[in-house]
Amino acid sequence: MLFSYTTIIIITTCIVSFISFNNDSLKNDLLFSPYDYFNNKKWWILLTHGFIHADFLHLFFNMYVLYIFGPSLESYFLSSSEIGWIYYISFYLLGIIFATLPSIFKHKNNPNYSSLGASGAVSAIVFAYIVIYPLRELGLILIPGLFLPGFIFGILYLFAEHYLSKKQYSNIAHDAHISGSIFGIIFINAYDYNNLLLFFQKIIYYFQNF
């Protein structure tokens, strides 16, 4: 299917990101700064930061992951509701916003802190996918050939992100990845609590047949 809401999100994000690569003024107006949010009332940056990226590699990685996982989740929403597209778009946009919560509380008095990128929303997509398809194998880009059931991958991912957020080896917003992942789990189960029941049934089946 050529037309999809995932494609629209990817194209929109790429266009805005490419424009901002050569426009520092625009990038500064759209990136997320907890300090500006509280002190300068720039409420829109809760959302706009998810449509700009630091560089091409940052953009490519996020959009590649969205391209891989987004269509399956989009199909799930479209097949489960007549207004599934609204749920899907809302889920993605709320994932961007929810991912900012840790930095809002941690850096609201820090004028030097800022963040950007769709990583939080993409993490939400991945973890909602894992809840629905916990036994589908996922691979690690850094370790080619290694594939793990989704629920195991998810657990390891969260532990790794928590560890990296504590060590602060880089300027990557690991807290946003974690909060985005948590949002994905909460939203998909709130949307249909049967997802949680089926998730555990599949996990039990997996260990019974391990």
Phi, psi of 115 (to 5 degrees): -150, 160
The pLDDT, as a whole number, for residue 27 is 93
The pLDDT, as a whole number, for residue 98 is 94
Phi, psi of 2 (to 5 degrees): -70, -40
Which one-letter amino acid corresponds to residue 108? K
Cβ-contact 34, 46 below 8 angstroms? no
Residue 50 DSSP code: G
The pLDDT, as a whole number, for residue 160 is 86
The pLDDT, as a whole number, for residue 143 is 59
The pLDDT, as a whole number, for residue 78 is 96
Structure token pair of residue 113: 């802190």
Q: In which element (H, E) is residue 23 found?
A: none
Structure token pair of residue 51: 């449509």
- Residues 6 or more apart in contact with residue 54 via CB below 8 angstroms: 116, 117
Dump the DSSP string for 128-190.
HHHHHSTTSEEEETTEEEEEEEHHHHHHHHHHHHHHHHHHT-SS--HHHHHHHHHHHHHHHHH
> Is the Cα dihedral 174, 176, 179, 181 positive or negative?
negative
Structural domain span for residue 153: 5-208
Per-residue pLDDT of the chain (210 residues; tens, 9 = 90+): 557 999 999 999 999 999 999 999 999 999 999 999 988 889 999 999 999 999 999 999 999 999 999 999 999 999 999 999 999 999 999 999 999 998 888 888 898 888 999 999 999 999 999 999 999 998 765 556 678 899 999 999 999 888 887 766 556 777 889 999 999 999 999 999 999 999 999 999 999 987
If phi > 0 it is left, if psi is from -120 to 50 it is alpha, else beta; for residue 69 that is: alpha
Q: Is 17 helix (H, G, I), strand (E, B) or coil?
A: helix
Indicate which CATH number applies to the domain containing 43.
1.20.1540.10
The pLDDT, as a whole number, for residue 19 is 96
Domain count, the chain: 1
pTM of the model: 0.92
What distance in Å separates the CA atoms of residue 123 and residue 177, rounded to the nearest whole number? 6
What distance in Å separates the CA atoms of residue 76 and residue 207, rounded to the nearest whole number? 26
